[in-house]
Amino acid sequence: MDDRQSAVHRTIVVVDVEGFGDRRRTNAHQVAVRAGLYKALRRAFDEASVSWGACRHEDRGDGVFVLVPAEVPKARFVDAVPHALVGALREHNATHAEAAQIRLRMALHAGEVELDEHGVTAASVNLAFRLLDARPLKAALAESPGVLALIASGWFFDEVVRHNDGAAAATFKPVQVAVKETSTVGWISLPDHPYLLDATHLSTSPPEHAVTPDTPSDDHATVPEAARGGIRTVAPGRRRRPPRWTLALGAGALAIAVGWSLVEMTGFRESGQPEPGEPISLVGEAKAAGGLEFALPEPLTSGAEYDALLRTNDPAYHPLTSDRFVPVGTVAVSFQIKGNRRTPVQITDVTPEITSKDPALAGTLVVYPPPGGEKPAIRLVANLDDPQLIVRDPAEISTAWFAQHHVELAKDENQQFAVTFSGRLAAYSFRIVVEYSTGDGARGRLVIAGKDGLPFRLTGKPADGRYGAVYLPNFPKSGGWHACGAWAEDRCTR
C-alpha cells in the first residue's frame, strides 16, 4: 500500500551566497551574512506581496530553499522579488564591511513536489539546485558589478518570463547547463545590471543540447548558436533597437552651475582591430540646475554678497561666489552622450556615484521666487538617500528605468539625458556614471562630473529646519531679498 501524500505544485526558489566560505570571512562575518540574507529575503517577499510565513523555507547554511504556495502568482518572482531583493542587499552591503557583504545567485523553477516526514523531494527540486550550481550562472555573477544573478528553468522562462512585460524577457540569456546527471538550458538574468536587449531568442525555443554528465565544465559545453548566451556573445546586427528617448530639462528650471565634464573610461575589447577613441563621449558640458532654495554652510550676515542680495532687482540673481550655494532638496543634471562606433553602443545604466556625505547645510538659506510659464519635461529621478542609488521612472517610482529600457547610439548619434537627483538626509557630493556595452561585448563606463572636474552637489535641510540666516524674496513687491522675520507672514523654519 502506498502511504505517500499526494504531490503538490509549488514555485521553487533557491538562493546561494557567493563565496560564503571565503577564508576572509570569519564566523562573525558568516553570522552577519546569514542574518542579512534572511532579512533581505523577508523584505523582498513582503514588498512583492508574497507572505514569507505562508512559504516553506529550509536553511542551507550559505543559502535558503523556499517553496511558495501554488496560488501565489509566479510573475512576482521575476517582476518584483528580484528588484526588491537587489535593494535590500545593497542596503545591507552599504552598512557592512566587505567580508560581511552579500552577492547572491537565485534559481527559479516550479513543479510537483513530494512532502514527507523528513522534508521535500522531487525531480523539480533537484533541477532547481542544479540550475543554482551551474557554472554559467556563477560566471555571470562573477563578471557582473551587481549583487544578484538569476537563472530560470526553461519551463519557468517559457511559461512565466516571456509572457510578463515587467520581466524584460529580452534581457534573459539562454545558457547550457550540465551539472551531474542534468543537461538542460537555463535562462540567466542580471536584474541590477541587465544584459543587452536581444529579442531574437524569444521567437524560437532553443533546442535542448545533449551534453554528457561528465562534461568537465559548463563553460566549455557546446551551445547551439540560437541558444548561446552569457556575456559578450550577442551578434550586434541581431539586436532589437529600442525606441530613442529624449530627456529634456524643464524650461523653467533655475540654472545654478554649468560644468565641464570629467571622463573616466574603462573596459577592454576582447578581439579584433579596435576603432580609435572611446566608444561614447560627452557632448559639450553637463549642466546642473537647482530648484527654488539654495544653502550656504555659514550664515551670511554682512559683506558684498549680503549687500547685493538685498539690493538686486534681478529675481534670478546669484552672488558672484554662487558655486558655494548648494541646491536644497533636488538638482537636475542634463548632459548629452554621443556614440563613436560603427556598430551601435548601448547605454545600459546611469547611476549616481556619491563622493562625500556630510551633515545637511544649515548656515544660510536663500529662497527664490517661482518662475513663470514652466513647461513639463520628461525626466528620470534618483534619490541619493536611497542606498540602492537607482535611476527610476518618475511615473513608476518603483521601477528602475534601465531595467526596462536601453538606449542605443549609432556613430555620431547624440542622446540628451536629464536626471533629477533628490536628497534630504545629508549634504552630498556626487558624480554620474554612464555604463555602456559595445557591439563586440566590451563593457565600460563614462564618469561625468561638474565644473573643473568637481562633483555635483546637493544638500538636504537641517533636521530641526533652522538656519543661521534665512533670506526671502521681495519679488514681485519690490527688488532684492530680506532677512526672514522682517515681515509678519515670514516663515523662517523651513
Residues in the chain: 494
Cα–Cα distance measured from residue 181 to residue 124, given in angstroms and rounded to the nearest whole number: 13
Q: Is residue 221 part of a domain?
A: yes
Return the ∠ at Cα 387 (arms to 288 and 361), rounded to 5°.
Answer: 50
Last residue of a domain, one of 176, 211, 237: 237
Q: Is residue 492 part of a domain?
A: no
Cα–Cα distance measured from residue 195 to residue 183, given in angstroms and rounded to the nearest whole number: 24
User: In this structure, are 138 and 285 located in the same domain?
Assistant: no
- Name beta bridge partners: 59: 64
User: In this structure, are 80 and 12 located in the same domain?
Assistant: yes
User: In this structure, are 206 and 81 located in the same domain?
Assistant: yes
Q: What is the pTM of this model?
A: 0.47
pLDDT, tens digit (0-9, with 9 covering 90-100), for 102-144 = 999 999 999 999 988 888 889 999 999 999 999 999 988 888 8
Residue 186: predicted pLDDT? 94
Query: Cell 521567437 appears where?
Result: 203
Pairing of strands 396-400, 329-339: unpaired
Q: Could you give the percent of the chain with pLDDT greater than 70?
A: 77
Q: Is residue 471 part of a domain?
A: yes
Residue 315: predicted pLDDT? 67
Mean pLDDT on 27-55: 93
Least confident of 191-195, 218-222, 443-447: 218-222
Pairing of strands 8-17, 63-69: antiparallel
Residue 132 amino acid letter? L
From the list 248, 285, 281, 276, the residue with the least C-alpha distance to 409 is 281
Residue 282 amino acid letter? L
From the list 387, 335, 294, 381, the residue with the least C-alpha distance to 43 is 387
Q: Is residue 3 part of a domain?
A: no
pLDDT, tens digit (0-9, with 9 covering 90-100), for 267-289 = 333 344 556 778 888 888 888 87
Mean pLDDT on 299-326: 72
User: In this structure, are 297 and 394 located in the same domain?
Assistant: yes
User: In this structure, are 231 and 263 located in the same domain?
Assistant: no
Phi/psi-derived region of residue 273, left when phi > 0, alpha when psi is between -120 and 50, beta in every other case: beta
* pLDDT over threshold 60, residue 228: no
Q: Which domain holds residue 270?
A: 254-483
User: In this structure, are 280 and 165 located in the same domain?
Assistant: no
Residue 203: predicted pLDDT? 61
Cα–Cα distance measured from residue 98 to residue 90, given in angstroms and rounded to the nearest whole number: 12
Q: Domain of 227: which CATH number?
A: 3.30.70.1230
Helical spans, DSSP H, in 286-382: 304-311
Residue 63 amino acid letter? G
User: In this structure, are 145 and 275 located in the same domain?
Assistant: no
Average pLDDT value over all residues in the chain: 76
- What is the DSSP secondary-structure string of 7-35? PEEEEEEEEEETTTT-TT--HHHHHHHHH
User: In this structure, are 182 and 304 located in the same domain?
Assistant: no
Residue 18: predicted pLDDT? 92
Residue 197: predicted pLDDT? 65
Query: Cell 518618475 appears where?
Result: 394
From the list 397, 383, 366, the residue with the least C-alpha distance to 426 is 383
- Name beta bridge partners: 382: 421
Q: Which residue has the higher pLDDT, 343 or 92?
A: 92
Residue 249 amino acid letter? L
From the list 230, 250, 439, the residue with the least C-alpha distance to 332 is 250
Last residue of a domain, one of 237, 264, 289: 237
Last residue of a domain, one of 187, 209, 237: 237
Q: Is residue 244 part of a domain?
A: no
Residue 342 DSSP class? S
pLDDT, tens digit (0-9, with 9 covering 90-100), for 169-183 = 888 889 999 888 888
14 alpha-carbon distance from chain centroid = 23
Percent helix / strand / coil, the chain, rounded to 5: 20, 35, 45
Q: What total number of domains does the chain contain?
A: 2
Q: Is residue 489 part of a domain?
A: no
User: In this structure, are 201 and 347 located in the same domain?
Assistant: no
pLDDT band per the 50, 70, 90 thresholds, residue 231: very low
User: In this structure, are 444 and 304 located in the same domain?
Assistant: yes
Q: Is residue 2 part of a domain?
A: no
Task: Say how many C-beta atoms besides its own lie within 10 A of residue 42's C-beta.
Answer: 14
User: In this structure, are 208 and 260 located in the same domain?
Assistant: no
pLDDT band per the 50, 70, 90 thresholds, residue 406: confident
Q: Is residue 435 part of a domain?
A: yes
Q: What are phi and psi of 305, to 5 degrees?
A: -65, -40
Angle between helices 81-94 and 27-47 in degrees, nearest 10: 140
User: In this structure, are 59 and 199 located in the same domain?
Assistant: yes
* pLDDT over threshold 60, residue 261: no
